């Protein structure tokens, strides 16, 4: 017998080899039908989190704690969508003979499969017949069967099938670690986990086609990436499609064009955003907002160059980890001299700390910079402002004593939560991103320092009462992180804001301070970026608000509209008074109807309109509209007071 511990702490004994499905069925048959997968953690495992997600049919051989995962659990959705990618592959193999398969993972919303069509043609007009075939196969209630195979067997199978992509993947795997999953007539190289069978897949929608280089390498062949999403109920798909349509309206690329905020130019280069005047105003206001708050917290502003010596990034470890995938070194006329576009601000800040002797009295030493960095993203991965090659981080680094670490970390949490409150991101989860305990070679630093850093994050998050999830393998290579995942107005998840504890860079840069007893000690470093980057934050904020920005942040806060040309002089006086009162205002006195001007201004999402006509001129007033709603008629001086009060409320 083995002991199984449930999330509520209760313990029950089961036969050794019991499956998750059998455990669920022992509680209730209905629960067994709702559960999609199981998370299992051996009793000897002291790590945080639910444990390893497994098939419901996998046997449990030792004392363990478990979580039964249902649709509402993210882990269950990943299993559901990964299984759906295999179902799609089976349908594709039926419909397109000779097709070959790359990889087919679950993603945040749905799944994709990279395929080599082997001469077949596929367009989105073919989606309905693929969806139909998937549903036909799902209704067959095909089991997902896991099979352990030797490396030789696996290579033989896929060589006979003529699938060079799977053969390449198998060649890199260790014998004794290779598994297949089979559903129906389709067999795939896969670690799993998967659903018990296909019956629970009730609704299917293929969503997009894209090109994708094999293994992300632009020198390799291009495959076709087929995206899709599935649900256990048709009603869920219907709700998702409504959200999808709303997302199209809120696409920051569309809004950025309509609102004249940013653009891209092939001559300038892919992934390099150009901020237009209106967008630059918004960007500067974001920076000003955060600078003001940083001043309250005691941050010191710094500015560092856009390039750095290659040796700087060799010292930091960035070059060893990312050098091959970064913009390549810049060679100067001086032989052997190499520089790099700055991929990170932290090495520069370490050198600022080193520039003078530091005492424990100087700590915490907080450096802040809106620093532009450059990272090479493959062209297929670029997406508006959310994936770019040049972006500006609201970066700061705090150098603290070990005793100050938790308190300083909690202050950064407070700062990030303040930012979320001001921008109405009221649904969020804090993700504790830890290193992969099974692949420690990916990370730099000692086990002792990693344990200290991970415990500091976990304790600070708990003391702040944050709702947290733990993700192993998501840490930065130099330290664990607390990543904030927000939900926008239509329920999509975005990663915004990050805090990282780092014992490693201070060691690599030999940073030290003089302690109270006169000894030399190593500081602990905290990395933080509440916005993440200006570019990504702008994109998420635009999609969250649909472009209807807070009044204080809007590039044009007020547009003055004279009803006809004869009221233009008064309109200009109103405009001048508002601008002199630090309210961003412009006038639209074009020879167009008032209705047409209002419609065109609505695309710019100007929050306040001040309309002036004969009555307003006579009385020294303006007729005010806020986001399309009548806000009344006000004296011009009262209008200024009202605007400032509205902005103050937004920032309170």
> Could you state, in order of their start, the residue ranges of all structural domains in the chain?
2-70, 75-249, 297-545, 558-651
Which candidate in 395, 483, 488, 588 is catalytic? 395
Segment 127-149 mean pLDDT: 97
- Over residues 322-339, mean pLDDT: 88
CATH number of the domain at 2-70, please? Answer: 3.10.20.30
Q: Is 395 a catalytic residue?
A: yes
User: Whole-angstrom Cα distance, residue 229 to residue 345?
Assistant: 38
**Phi and psi (nearest 5°) for 619?**
-105, 0
pLDDT band per the 50, 70, 90 thresholds, residue 119: confident
CA 549, CA 606: separation in Å to the nearest integer? 9
530-553 average pLDDT score? 96
Q: Is 346 a catalytic residue?
A: yes
Nearest of 547, 580, 410, 554 to residue 482 by alpha carbon = 410
The residue from 346, 528, 536, 584 that is catalytic is 346
Tens digits of residue pLDDT in 222-238: 999 999 999 999 999 99
- Given this structure, which CATH class describes domain 558-651? alpha beta
Q: Examine the pLDDT at 529 and tell me if it is beyond 80.
A: yes
Which residue in 77, 375, 597, 605 is the catalytic one?
A: 375
Segment 380-432, tens digit of pLDDT: 789 999 999 999 999 999 999 988 998 999 999 999 999 999 999 999 999 99
**Catalytic one of 481, 536, 559, 625:** 481
What is the CATH architecture of 297-545?
Answer: 2-Layer Sandwich (3.30)
Question: How do residues 66-110 score in pLDDT, each as one tens digit?
Answer: 999 999 999 999 999 999 999 999 999 999 999 999 999 999 899
Q: HEC profile for 462-519?
A: HHCCCCEEEEECCCECCECEEEEEEECCCCCEEEEEEEEEECHHHHHCCCCEECCCCC
pTM: 0.84
In degrees and rounded to multiples of 5, residue 153 shows phi and psi of -65, -45
Topology of the domain covering 75-249 = 3.30.980
> Per mean pLDDT, which range of 117-126, 141-150, 414-423 is the poorest?
117-126
Mean pLDDT of the chain: 94
**575 tagged catalytic:** no
Q: Write 1-6 long-range contacts (CB < 8 A, 24+).
A: 2/60, 2/61, 2/62, 2/63, 2/64, 3/43, 3/63, 4/60, 4/63, 4/64, 4/65, 4/66, 5/43, 5/63, 5/64, 5/65, 5/66, 6/65, 6/66
Active-site pick, 205, 349, 358, 527: 527
Q: What is the DSSP letter of 409?
A: H
Q: Has 161 been annotated as catalytic?
A: no
């Amino acid at each position: 017998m083995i002991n199984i511990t449930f999330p509520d702490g209760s313990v029950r004994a089961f036969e050794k080899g019991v499956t998750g499905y059998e455990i669920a069925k022992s509680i209730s048959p209905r629960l067994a039908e709702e559960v999609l997968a199981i998370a299992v953690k051996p009793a000897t495992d002291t790590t945080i989190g639910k444990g390893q997600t497994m098939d419901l049919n996998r046997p449990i051989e030792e004392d363990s704690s478990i979580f039964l995962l249902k649709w509402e659990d993210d882990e269950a959705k990943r299993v559901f969508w990964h299984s759906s990618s295999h179902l799609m592959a089976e349908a594709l193999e039926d419909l397109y003979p000779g097709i070959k398969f790359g990889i087919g993972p679950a993603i945040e919303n749905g799944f994709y499969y990279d395929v080599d069509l082997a001469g077949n043609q596929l367009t989105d007009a073919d989606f309905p017949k693929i969806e139909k075939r998937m549903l036909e196969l799902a209704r067959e209630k095909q089991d997902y069967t896991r099979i352990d195979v030797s490396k030789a067997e696996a290579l033989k199978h896929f060589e006979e099938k003529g699938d060079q992509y799977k053969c390449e993947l198998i060649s890199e795997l260790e014998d004794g670690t290779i598994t297949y999953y089979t559903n129906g007539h389709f067999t795939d190289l896969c670690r799993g986990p998967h659903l018990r069978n296909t019956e629970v897949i009730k609704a299917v929608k293929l969503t997009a086609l894209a090109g994708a280089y094999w293994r992300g390498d632009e020198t390799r062949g291009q495959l076709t990436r087929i995206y899709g999403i599935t649900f256990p109920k048709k009603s869920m798909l219907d709700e998702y499609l409504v959200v999808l349509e709303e997302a199209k309206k809120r696409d920051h690329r569309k809004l950025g064009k309509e609102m004249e905020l940013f653009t891209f130019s092939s001559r300038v280069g892919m992934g390099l955003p150009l901020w237009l005047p209106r967008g630059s105003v918004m960007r500067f206001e974001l920076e000003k907002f955060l600078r003001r708050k940083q001043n309250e917290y005691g941050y010191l502003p710094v500015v560092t160059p856009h390039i750095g010596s290659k040796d700087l990034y060799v010292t930091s470890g960035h070059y060893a980890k990312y050098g091959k995938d970064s913009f390549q070194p810049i060679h100067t006329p001086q032989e052997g001299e190499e520089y790099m576009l700055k991929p990170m601000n932290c090495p520069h800040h370490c050198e600022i700390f080193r520039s003078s002797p530091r005492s424990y009295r100087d700590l915490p030493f907080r450096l802040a910079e809106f620093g532009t960095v450059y990272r090479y993203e493959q062209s297929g991965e670029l997406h508006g402002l959310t994936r770019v090659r040049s972006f500006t981080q609201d970066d700061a680094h705090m150098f603290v004593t070990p005793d100050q670490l938790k308190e300083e970390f909690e202050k950064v949490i407070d700062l990030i939560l303040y930012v979320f409150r001001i921008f109405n991101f009221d649904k969020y989860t804090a993700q504790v991103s830890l290193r992969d305990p099974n692949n420690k070679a990916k990370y730099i630093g000692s086990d002792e320092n990693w344990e200290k850093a991970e415990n500091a994050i976990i304790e600070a998050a708990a003391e702040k009462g944050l709702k947290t999830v733990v993700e192993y393998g998501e840490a930065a290579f130099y330290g664990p992180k607390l990543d904030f995942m927000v939900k926008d107005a239509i329920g999509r998840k975005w990663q915004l804001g990050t805090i990282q504890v780092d014992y490693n860079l201070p060691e690599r840069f030999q940073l030290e301070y003089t302690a109270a007893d006169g000894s030399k000690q190593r500081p602990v470093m905290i990395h933080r970026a509440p916005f993440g980057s200006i570019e990504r934050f702008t994109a998420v904020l635009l999609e969250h608000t649909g472009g209807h920005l807070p009044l204080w942040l809007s590039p044009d806060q007020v547009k003055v509209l004279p009803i006809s040309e004869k009221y233009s002089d008064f309109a200009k006086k109103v405009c001048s008074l508002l601008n002199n009162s630090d309210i961003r205002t412009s006038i639209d006195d074009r020879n167009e109807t008032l209705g047409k001007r209002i419609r065109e201004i609505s695309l710019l999402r100007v929050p306040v309109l001040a309309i002036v006509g004969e009555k307003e001129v006579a009385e020294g007033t303006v007729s005010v509209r806020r986001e399309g709603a009548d806000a009344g008629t006000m004296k011009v001086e009262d209008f200024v007071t009202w605007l400032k009060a509205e902005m103050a409320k937004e920032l309170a």
